[in-house]
Structure 1
Amino acid sequence: MFIRTEKNLKDFIRFYPIVSTLVIIHLALWFFINFLQLPIGLRFFQWGAGYNLGIHNGEYWRLVTPIFLHGDFMHALFNSFSLVLFGPALEQMLGKFKFLVAYFAAGIIGNLATYLIEPTAFYSHIGASGAIFGLFGVYVYMVLFRKDLIDQANAQIVMVISIIGLIMTFLRPGINIYAHIFGFIGGFALARILLSNVKPFSPWRNQSNRNDGNPVQFNSNRWNKRRVLPRGTGKTAIWIVLGILVLLGIMSRIL
Structure 2
Amino acid sequence: MFRITESFSAFIKEYPVTTAIAFICLLQGAVTMLLGGYTAETRLLLGAYDANAVDDGAYWRLLTYAFGHMSLFHLLLNIPFVVLLARPLEKRMGHSLFLLSYVILSIGAGMTIHFFSSYPVPLAGSSGPAFGLIGIYLYLIWQQKQLIARSDRSSILLFSSIAFLSTFLIPTISTAGHLGGLLSGFLFALVLSLRSGTFRKS
- The verdict on a shared fold, with TM-score over 0.5 as the criterion, is yes
Report the residue type matching 1:199 in the other structure.
Answer: R
Mean alpha-carbon deviation: is it higher for 191-200 or for 10-19?
191-200
C-alpha deviation, 1:33, in angstroms: 1.4
Distance 1:109 1:30 in 2: 23
C-alpha deviation, 1:38, in angstroms: 6.6
Q: 1:5 matched to which residue of 2? A: 5
Q: 1:60 matched to which residue of 2? A: 59
Q: Is the partner of 2:134 in helix, strand or coil?
A: helix
1:102-153 per-residue CA deviation (whole Å, 9 max, x = no partner) reads 2121111111111111146x54311010001000000000100011211111
1:3-39 per-residue CA deviation (whole Å, 9 max, x = no partner) reads 1111x211111111110111111111110112x1279
Report the residue type matching 1:173 in the other structure.
Answer: P
C-alpha deviation, 1:67, in angstroms: 0.5
Q: 1:140 matched to which residue of 2? A: 138
Distance 2:64 2:26 in 1: 14
Report the residue type matching 1:5 in the other structure.
Answer: T
Q: Is the 8 A contact 2:65 2:125 kept in 1?
A: yes
C-alpha deviation, 1:44, in angstroms: 6.6
Distance 1:199 1:49 in 2: 35
Q: Is the 8 A contact 2:137 2:156 kept in 1?
A: yes
1:177-214 per-residue CA deviation (whole Å, 9 max, x = no partner) reads 1010010000000102335413112xxxxxxxxxxxxx
Q: 1:189 matched to which residue of 2? A: 187
Aligned equivalent of 2:125, options 124, 127, 131 = 127
Identity %: 30
Q: Is the 8 A contact 1:113 1:178 kept in 2?
A: yes
Mean alpha-carbon deviation: is it higher for 18-27 or for 47-56?
47-56
Q: Is the partner of 2:54 in helix, strand or coil?
A: helix
Q: Is the 8 A contact 2:66 2:126 kept in 1?
A: yes
1:67-89 per-residue CA deviation (whole Å, 9 max, x = no partner) reads 11112222112211112211110
Q: 1:216 matched to which residue of 2? A: none
Q: Is the 8 A contact 1:102 1:194 kept in 2?
A: no
C-alpha deviation, 1:43, in angstroms: 6.9
Distance 1:31 1:162 in 2: 29
Distance 1:133 1:127 in 2: 11
Distance 1:140 1:175 in 2: 21
Distance 2:14 2:118 in 1: 43
Q: Which runs of 5+ in 2 are unaligned?
A: none
Q: TM-score, normalised by structure 1?
A: 0.72
Distance 2:72 2:122 in 1: 18
Q: How does 1:167-206 map to 2 (within 5 A)?
A: 167-195=165-193, 196=195, 197=197, 198-201=199-202
Q: Is the 8 A contact 1:94 1:194 kept in 2?
A: no
Distance 1:44 1:168 in 2: 27
Q: Is the partner of 2:3 in helix, strand or coil?
A: coil
The RMSD of aligned alpha carbons is 2.0
Q: Is the partner of 1:132 in helix, strand or coil?
A: helix
Distance 2:143 2:72 in 1: 37
C-alpha deviation, 1:50, in angstroms: 0.4
Distance 1:114 1:71 in 2: 15
Q: TM-score, normalised by structure 2?
A: 0.90
Q: Is the 8 A contact 2:43 2:122 kept in 1?
A: no
Q: 1:20 matched to which residue of 2? A: 19
Instruction: Give the number of the structure whose alpha-carbon radius of gyration is greater.
Output: 1
Distance 1:70 1:22 in 2: 13
Q: 1:109 matched to which residue of 2? A: 108
